Amino acid sequence: MHIDARGVNLKTVAVEDRRSVLKLRDDSDAALERVMLLTPEEVTRAGLNPDDVDRLRSQILERRRVMQFLKASERMTDKLWQTSLAYGHTIAGLLGEIAAQGRRRARLSPDRSDILDALLPLIRYQSAPARKAHRTRTRNEGGAGVPSGERSAMLDSLFRELPEEEQGPASVELAPESQLP
Instruction: Determine the Cα–Cα distance for residues 23 and 16; give it in Å rounded to an integer.
Output: 15
pLDDT winner (highest mean) among 8-12, 20-24, 47-51, 121-125: 47-51
Instruction: Kindly report whether the global pTM for this prediction surpasses the value 0.75.
Output: no
- pLDDT at residue 148, as a whole number: 55
User: What would the pLDDT profile of 48-68 be if each residue is shown by its tens digit?
Assistant: 999 999 999 999 999 999 999
| 103, burial (CB in 10 Å: exposed 0-12, middle 13-18, buried 19+) | buried
Q: Which residue has the higher pLDDT, 169 or 90?
A: 90
Strands (E), the chain: none
User: What would the pLDDT profile of 100-125 be if each residue is shown by its tens digit?
Assistant: 999 899 999 998 889 988 999 998 89
State the DSSP code for 17: G
User: What would the pLDDT profile of 126-177 be if each residue is shown by its tens digit?
Assistant: 888 988 998 898 888 875 555 555 655 655 555 554 444 344 444 444 444 4
Closest by alpha carbon to 66, among 20, 107, 9?
A: 9
Instruction: Determine the Cα–Cα distance for residues 134 and 113; give it in Å rounded to an integer.
Output: 25
Contact status, residue 96 vs residue 117, Cβ threshold 8 Å: no
Instruction: Determine the Cα–Cα distance for residues 101 and 108; give it in Å rounded to an integer.
Output: 11
